[in-house]
């Protein structure tokens, strides 16, 4: 091979690599800026009746990757535990790989156990719609695409169903989003905890690029917009 040929091929390859790195860096900063700018404190639900019993209650919500959803609700006062998992599908006890294929019908979800004497179901929905995700994205969330990343509220009883339905109607009527809310409201049939390595993922890996770009800004927005609900020390799965 002619020496000049080798040199001429190296230069374009080096430039291509540098261009790709620069493009990825720019995209990362753009995504980071978008995530940091996202979030607005929406009005609280007009309908938010207390639970019949003051005992622990559970909310199951889906809004994209469960790492970020878990991270947000772990910092909400009155929440006792947040599990990452799967709900809304037809396959019992699915694996992450099965859910990621999109074939099981499950959505990446979180099971939020909370004390209704400290935080109501309606206030959790306020956080869900304000900072935890974008409820106008259909079958996707941020960089993730597929029905497993859909926006959903899995209600456990008629009270939760009514609060969710009325709140969505309230937000729609107020035209607080540039696009229609696509969050599905459906009965909870089962919740399956995700594998152990998914639990507390954002807390264990705050420097992981996906977490830093997509999820930590959501926690920051919770702190900024809901100082009355935010707590610095998160509840963890390992501590329960």
- Show which residues are catalytic: 65
Tell me the C-alpha distance between 37 and 78, whole Å.
Answer: 26
Contact between 150 and 105 (Cβ < 8 Å): no
Q: 84 — phi, psi (to 5°)?
A: -85, 140
């Amino acid at each position: 091979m002619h020496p000049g040929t080798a040199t001429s091929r190296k230069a374009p390859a080096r430039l291509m690599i540098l261009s790709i790195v620069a493009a990825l860096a720019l995209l990362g900063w753009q995504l980071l800026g978008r995530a940091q700018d996202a979030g607005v404190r929406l009005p609280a639900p007009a309908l938010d009746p207390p639970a019949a019993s003051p005992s622990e209650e559970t909310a199951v919500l889906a809004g994209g990757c469960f790492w970020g959803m878990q991270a947000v609700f772990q910092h909400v006062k009155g929440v006792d535990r947040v599990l990452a998992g799967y709900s809304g599908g037809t396959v019992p006890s699915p694996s992450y790989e099965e859910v990621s294929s999109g074939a099981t019908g499950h959505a990446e979800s979180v099971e939020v156990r909370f004390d209704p004497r400290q935080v109501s179901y309606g206030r959790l929905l306020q956080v869900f719609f304000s900072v935890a995700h974008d409820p106008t994205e259909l079958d996707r969330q941020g960089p993730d695409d597929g029905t497993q990343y859909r926006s959903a509220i899995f209600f456990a009883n008629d009270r939760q169903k009514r609060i969710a339905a009325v709140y969505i109607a309230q937000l729609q009527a107020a035209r607080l989003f540039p696009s229609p809310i696509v969050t599905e409201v459906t009965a909870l049939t089962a919740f399956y905890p995700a594998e152990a390595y998914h639990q507390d993922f954002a807390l264990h890996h705050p420097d992981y690029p996906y977490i830093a770009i997509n999820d930590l800004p959501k926690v920051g927005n919770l702190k900024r917009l809901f100082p009355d609900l935010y707590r610095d020390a998160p509840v963890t799965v390992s501590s329960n």
